[in-house]
């Protein structure tokens, strides 16, 4: 049975897709560390494609639909997609609170007069649709990183299609097991494969999955010209990580929901941003379009000093950037260059696969110490 068939659940597809077949074949697609191949085959040079990266692309296509193009990093996928879809001096509509790398790329291209970037509050559907008049590309990120704003994907896609605007959705946080924008009419979905899909904090990879061949080929051209190829060892590790995405995501998501609820009740926490909570302004919208609230929880303390005290007090949860690994990580994003628009006391928590009670014990103790320190200093 073809692993891409709708008769198989996507968790099964993540496990079964793109495995070698036939008597004597290995169960897993092996890494092929070669730069050049003998003439006459499907691949002649690894900057164009490689067998291992192609296997990863086939597996991702089985989850998202469309045609997948793998890149050497999430930013490689984002950059190629922006430039492949946006004509010279074109205009991109994208959230002002998107991922830092996306904002930096758009700002850089805008400074070079390669494109214009219209910044929107993407959770405001009417305002975003109004900004699409005369635009070329709508860039959706949902939930946004790290403020967790939720875009109305079906409404925005429908409005963009009426106006002839291409739609790209960064679905790194939900992954294809929770949100599949191509099914809702988007032209391209992008993932930082580095994060939840690979899931072990040991590689860089990205992917763009296009709804049609013309766009997919444009993405391949950009990858080839920019040298943004995914090398075989990382492709193999990413494919191995993908096999366990279903169980990792379920485990981490359940813990994230429990932690968000407990954080909301802690006296040191002023606000929790998690779409699984009924108090989140995008809760109902997210529930309609996605199949789970995800593994990312942002929460706010009184100020940056309180947040730093929490970071200094944690023992199990690692103070580190990035997200989506089996280990839980946390950081104060507002302390990063280019993130000064964020609340100073905001902490972004990527929930991993550790035991829930161990995670909560670590968090609660750190929050209690930070709260006590604030009272002593007042």
Q: Which of 13, 99, 273, 309 is catalytic?
A: 99
* Angle between helix 356-377 and 304-313 (nearest 10): 130
Cβ–Cβ under 8 Å, residues 153 and 184: yes
CB 327 within 8 A of CB 318: yes
Active-site hit among 47, 224, 262, 271: 47
Q: The tokens of 140 are what?
A: 């959706």
**Cα 365 from chain centre:** 30
> Phi and psi of 114, rounded to 5°?
-80, -30
Beta strand 329-331 pairing with 166-170: unpaired
Residue 99 annotated in active site: yes
Catalytic residue among 83, 166, 195, 223: 195
HEC secondary structure over the chain: CCCCCCCCCHHHHHHHCCCCCCCCCCCCCCCCCCCECCCCCCCCECCCCCHHHHHHHHHHHHHHCCEEEEECCHHHHHHHHHHHHCCCCEEEEEECCCCHHHHHHHHHHHHCCCEEEEEECCCCHHHHHHHCCCCCEEEEECCCCCCCCCCCHHHHHHHHHHCCCEEEEECCCCCCCCCCHHHHCCCEEEECCCCCCCCCCCCCCEEEEECCHHHHHHHHHHHHHHCCCCCHHHHHHHHHHHHCHHHHHHHHHHHHHHHHHHHHHCCCCCEEECCCCCCCCCHHHHHHHCCCCCCEEEEECCCHHHHHHHHHHCCCCEECCCCCCCCCEEECHHHCCCCCCCCCCEEEEECCCCCHHHHHHHHHHHHHHHHHHHHHHC
Catalytic residue of the set 97, 136, 170, 362: 170
Half-sphere exposure of 79 (CA within 13 A, CB side): 21
Is 47 known to be catalytic? yes
Is 274 an annotated catalytic residue? no
> Catalytic site residues?
47, 99, 170, 195
């Amino acid at each position: 049975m073809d692993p891409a068939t709708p008769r198989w659940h996507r968790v099964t597809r993540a496990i079964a897709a793109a495995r070698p077949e036939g008597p004597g074949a290995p169960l897993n697609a092996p890494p092929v560390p070669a730069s050049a191949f003998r003439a006459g085959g499907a691949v002649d040079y690894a900057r164009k494609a490689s067998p291992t990266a192609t296997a990863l692309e086939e597996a991702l296509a089985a989850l998202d639909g469309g045609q997948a193009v793998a890149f050497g990093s999430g930013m490689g996928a984002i950059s190629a997609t922006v430039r492949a879809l946006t004509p010279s001096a074109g205009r991109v509509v994208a959230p002002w609170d998107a991922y830092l790398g996306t904002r930096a790329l758009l700002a850089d291209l805008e400074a070079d007069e390669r494109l214009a970037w219209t910044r929107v509050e993407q959770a405001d559907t009417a305002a975003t649709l109004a900004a699409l008049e005369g635009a070329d590309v709508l860039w959706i990120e949902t939930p946004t990183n790290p403020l967790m704003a939720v875009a109305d994907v079906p409404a925005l896609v429908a409005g963009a299609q009426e106006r002839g605007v291409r739609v790209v959705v960064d679905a790194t946080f939900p992954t294809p097991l929770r949100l599949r924008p191509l099914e809702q009419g988007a032209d391209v979905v992008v993932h930082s494969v580095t994060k939840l899909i690979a899931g072990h904090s040991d590689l860089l990879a990205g992917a763009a999955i296009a709804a049609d061949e013309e766009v997919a080929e444009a993405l391949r051209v950009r990858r080839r010209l920019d040298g943004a190829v995914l090398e075989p060892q990382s492709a193999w590790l990413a494919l191995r990580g993908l096999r366990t995405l279903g169980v990792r995501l379920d485990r981490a998501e359940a813990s994230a929901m429990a932690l968000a609820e407990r954080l909301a009740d802690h006296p040191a926490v002023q606000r929790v941003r998690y779409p699984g909570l009924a108090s989140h302004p995008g809760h109902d919208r997210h529930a309609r379009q996605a199949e789970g609230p995800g593994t990312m929880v942002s929460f706010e303390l009184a100020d940056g000093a309180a947040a730093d005290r929490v970071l200094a007090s944690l023992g199990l949860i690692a103070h580190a950037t990035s997200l989506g690994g089996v280990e839980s990580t946390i950081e104060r994003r507002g302390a990063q260059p280019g993130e000064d628009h964020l609340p100073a006391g905001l902490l972004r928590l990527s929930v991993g696969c550790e035991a829930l009670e161990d995670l909560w014990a670590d968090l609660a103790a750190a929050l209690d110490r930070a709260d006590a320190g604030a009272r002593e200093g007042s």
